[in-house]
Amino acid sequence: MRNFFGNGFGSNSGKIVAMDRFDNGRSLSPIRQAEAYWTALLTSDGIPKRSQVDPRGLENILEYTFILERITPRLARFRVAGSHLNKLAGMEVRGMPLTAFFEPSARSQISDVLEQVFAKPAIAGFDLVSAGKLGRTRVQARMILLPLKSDLGDVSRVLGVLVSDGAISATPRRFTIQDTQLRAVSDVQAPKRPKRQLSTGFAEAPQEFKRPGSHLRLVVSRDD
């Protein structure tokens, strides 16, 4: 597990990594749009509330978007899920646990990361793969989990996006985890602005001020 974002999720420095596409060139813009939307909701109070998430702000990526509700520290279920997730699962996923999208060998790992998303809290990014077998093609996927507060103020909701690349078969897809990127929410809070320094590029060197006094002389006019 890496404690920084790569492969299109950004980095601790706030810069975006150039690699933002699947192997065949498909864009990962739904991931970026979701993270940008969530980041725009951040305030000085920290994590956004679930009630602040407006579907109209995510209308271009709704099919990939979902909302999770925390059930236990290591388990969360889908409250809302877009059509892309239903197609991957081969059924309606609302009410199902997030772990249902993963092979048994990967479920403990996803639960470990989910616990940190709620507890730290943190943002999690995943590189996923569903192996090709029984005539099915290999499918790549990327997922991001962005923590949210409930109306009670506890971190018990998640705004997420899951986008895959490859043919979706009629049978359910289950994924393994190739890589995980975890970043504390505190790392993406707006940094304090440094004190502004005045540029001296066009400034003239300050001159010493000399009080007039002994250098003055009285001029008397003798005009009649």
Three-state SS letters, the chain = CECCCCCCCCCCCCCCCCCCECCCCCECHHHHHHHHHHHHHCECCECCEHHHCCHHHHCCCHHHEEEEEEEECCEEEEEEECHHHHHHHCCCCCCCEHHHHECHHHHHHHHHHHHHHHHCCEEEEEEEEECCCCCCCCEEEEEEEEEEECCCCCEEEEEEEEEEECCCCCCCCCEEEEEEEEEEHHHHCCCCCCCCCCCCCCCCCCCCCCCCCCCCCCCCCCCC
Residues 6+ positions from 215 with CB-CB distance below 8 Å:
none
pLDDT of residue 17: 33
What lies within 8 Å, CB to CB, of 94 at 6+ separation is: 78, 79, 80, 81
List pLDDT tens digits, range 38-70: 999 997 768 999 999 999 999 999 999 999 999
CA distance 28 to 14: 18
Which portions of the chain are predicted below pLDDT 70?
A: 1-28, 45, 134-136, 167, 189-224
pLDDT tens digits, 99-112: 999 999 999 999 99
What's residue 208's pLDDT? 52
Q: Residue 201: what pLDDT?
A: 37
Q: Which fold has domain 29-188?
A: Beta-Lactamase (3.30.450)
Q: What is the pLDDT of residue 219?
A: 46
Instruction: Look at residue 26 in the predicted model and tell me its pLDDT.
Output: 57
Question: Residue 136 has which token pair?
Answer: 């099915």
Q: What is the pLDDT of residue 11?
A: 35
Residue with tokens 């505190």: 186
User: Phi and psi of 152, rounded to 5°?
Assistant: -85, -10
Which pLDDT score, from 0 to 100, does residue 7 have? 37
Q: For residue 4, with 0-12 CB atoms within 10 Å meaning exposed, 13-18 middle and 19 or more buried, which class applies? A: middle
